[in-house]
Amino acid sequence: MSWISTLDRWQWALFAAVPIGIILLYFLKLRREPVEIPSTYLWSRTVEDLHVNSLFQRIRRNLLLFLQLLAVALAAFALLRPGIRGQTSAQPRSIFLLDASASMMARDTEGRQNRFETARKMIRDRIDAMDDRETAMLITFSDRAEVLQSFTSDRNRLRAALDQAQVTNRPTDIIGALEAADGLANPRRSSTTGDENDVQVADPQPADLLVYSDGGFRDVEGFDVGNLKPVYRKIGSDQARNLAITAFNADRNVEQAGAAKAFGTINNFGASEETCNVSLYVNGQWRDSASVTLGSGEETGLSFSLADQEDAATLEVRLESSTGGSDQPFEDDLLIDNYAYAGLRPLRTVSVLVITTGNKPLRLGLSTDNAAKICVPTFKSPDYLQTPEYAGRAEAGLDDLIIYDRCRPEALPNTNTFFIGALPSDQWSWASEPGQTILVDVDRTHPMMQYLELFSLLIFQGRAVEGPPGTRELVGGDAGTVLALAPRDGYQDLVLGFELITTGEDGSPQTNTNWYAERSWPVFLLNVLRYLAGAADATSAPSFLPGDTIRLRVESQLESVDIARGNGTPETVPTGASGSVEYVDSDVPGAYKVIANGKLVDLFCINLFGGRESDILPRESFDLGYETVETAGTVETRKEYWRWLLLGMLALIAVEWWLYNRRIA
């Protein structure tokens, strides 16, 4: 039997005055008016009554007084909350790790309560079961850990900290919470040298590590539990239902002006087959819909085509009911991943410097209607490389891309480059002799190789190239790599192993390939502008996870920008050096607009997009260091009897009231 007092000492002092007051009431004299009595029948009762109300008369046996004092005693015992502990803790210290990630919002527990509230109730019951000798601390974790209450034996402080805990939209990472717990339970030595100055900085503090989670985090390798005794309290149902949007993005079609496409992936992480409608909304207006049916563990991809979408736009895809109205949300156990957001950023132009003696195919390719929308080219002769203007331009990185056609600078610029028929530096070399080249392989997974058909090209004189470590082959020929991409101190160099235009013996220009006459040539240049020059960054809005720090770059002359989710209230964010912007209020999923001087300058999106969060079927175990932590079979409980004591007190008060009205004293 154990006791948990619900009153402080001063409150007990006030309570102790209650039985004293009851006893004093029986000593009080009653004020009576003299009454003439025609008979002596009542004299004996009158004398007895005077004796009872005499101040110094001994209290006679009184059933009502006994019942009243017994009721007060029962109330006192109830306030002490007597109870019997069930499964007792092996350690006097407990560390509560409460999962506050997005998957804990799943409503698959009893009464459709979400997992977080269920876990919080379990922790509260455990706190109520503590005695005065036990201490505990509370840590919540999502993608980062937060210590809400350090070690204390004050149950009220633990309950208050537990009330402050909030579930988040963020993914799960338990590492930070484990490190916080490990720092107290497994103190390290002051140094690792092993000399005489190496001392133990604190005594080890063994503790029960109680993890309340659905297990939606990675197994932890290389973690030594030491004095921690891990206990896993699994939260969630094995029959949970969840359809989730795990990917969604939009991009403009480089082959068709004004056209765009949106792509999404839908997964069924639940235990049964589900059917729903997938609807696309552009700038808040319905645009298209499709029906999907997925069995347990299945996934499918969807695409939506958009026409006449040259302006910036926000896109949203929703999972909606297939049986209710057209706009009724799909009701599964986790709602946050039933919505996803993407955006088409406002078109902007990139600066391209072209160093060439003359290249008509290159000039024409950069002046097409599609290229002109995103590119401002500047053509210079190779003599320009020797001017101070070029030196300052290259050092400052004023251009998004520099194309060197059959020439090479003394030092590479601080920007991305594209070399045609030339090598960037001594780290590159020719891997074959000049000769007719046949293309045999294309890396279609790279963005610059999309929508290209190159095997019909004729190349009269070409050579294979060999780059520094990390070089990636984009196009391979019969003699080796023909088109290669290599990283360079944060920049990238693209090298083409053959010339487009050569110079004849008489000094006249001659074609070296028929590529300029193929449809793939302007498409390739658009891919180069989009990927290598950064124009693609101005097309598809980037997506971040909830809680990420968002780093953007706007025009450097702007002092601040306004950032708002959808049509919500904007938040003014100052710009830093070179127009950099950092935004941290990113917990809520949605499409965010960046506005300056009343004009939309950028877009970004916040999406969950986490398979581990959407896969809400709870795990039975997880690996922690060198051991496997299984689901705990029993939960520590405490049986309390204060409710029965209060019921007994009320019963005594009812009996006392009945006896009083029956004039029984």
Q: In angstroms, rounded to a whole number, what is the distance separating the alpha carbons of residues 177 and 168?
A: 15
pLDDT of residue 268: 94
Looking at per-residue confidence, does 406 or 131 come out higher? 406
Q: In angstroms, rounded to a whole number, what is the distance separating the alpha carbons of residues 604 and 315?
A: 11
* Radius of gyration, CA atoms only, the chain: 39
The answer to whether the 243-347+608-613 and 350-538 domains have the same CATH topology is no
Local confidence band at 326 (pLDDT 50, 70, 90 cut-offs) = low
Query: Taking the domains of the chain in order of start, what are their residue ranges?
Result: 9-82, 93-190+198-238+618-640, 243-347+608-613, 350-538
618 phi/psi in degrees, rounded to 5: -65, 145
Average pLDDT over residues 379-396: 93
Q: In angstroms, rounded to a whole number, what is the distance separating the alpha carbons of residues 217 and 61?
A: 70
Average pLDDT, the chain: 83
Percent of the chain's residues with pLDDT above 70 = 82
Q: Is 90 exceeded by the pLDDT of residue 189?
A: no
> Quick one: tokens of 571?
């938040």
Local confidence band at 273 (pLDDT 50, 70, 90 cut-offs) = very high
Looking at per-residue confidence, does 311 or 210 come out higher? 210
Write down the pTM of the prediction: 0.62
Q: In angstroms, rounded to a whole number, what is the distance separating the alpha carbons of residues 154 and 4?
A: 11
Instruction: Identify the CATH class of 350-538.
Output: alpha beta
Domain 93-190+198-238+618-640 has CATH 3.40.50.720: no
Q: In angstroms, rounded to a whole number, what is the distance separating the alpha carbons of residues 372 and 350?
A: 10
Local confidence band at 618 (pLDDT 50, 70, 90 cut-offs) = very high
Q: In angstroms, rounded to a whole number, what is the distance separating the alpha carbons of residues 208 and 583?
A: 38
pLDDT tens per residue across span 571-612: 999 988 767 889 999 999 999 999 998 888 889 999 998 888
Least confident piece of the model among 85-99, 133-147, 485-499, 564-578: 85-99
Local confidence band at 182 (pLDDT 50, 70, 90 cut-offs) = confident
pLDDT of residue 203: 58
pLDDT of residue 640: 64
164 phi/psi in degrees, rounded to 5: -80, -15
pLDDT tens per residue across span 88-130: 445 688 999 999 999 999 998 887 889 999 999 999 988 988 8
Q: In angstroms, rounded to a whole number, what is the distance separating the alpha carbons of residues 471 and 494?
A: 10
Helix (H) or strand (E) holding 175: helix 175-185
Q: Are strands 93-99 and 207-213 parallel, antiparallel or unpaired?
A: parallel
Question: How many C-alpha atoms does 337 have within 13 Å on its Cβ side?
Answer: 35
Looking at per-residue confidence, does 132 or 342 come out higher? 342
DSSP type of residue 483: E
Query: Could you say which architecture CATH assigns to the domain 243-347+608-613?
Result: Sandwich (2.60)
List strands edge to edge, sheet with 416-420.
375-380, 350-355, 401-405, 416-420, 491-496, 480-488, 472-477, 439-442
Q: Is 50 exceeded by the pLDDT of residue 200?
A: no
Q: Is 70 exceeded by the pLDDT of residue 4?
A: no
Average pLDDT over residues 140-148: 92
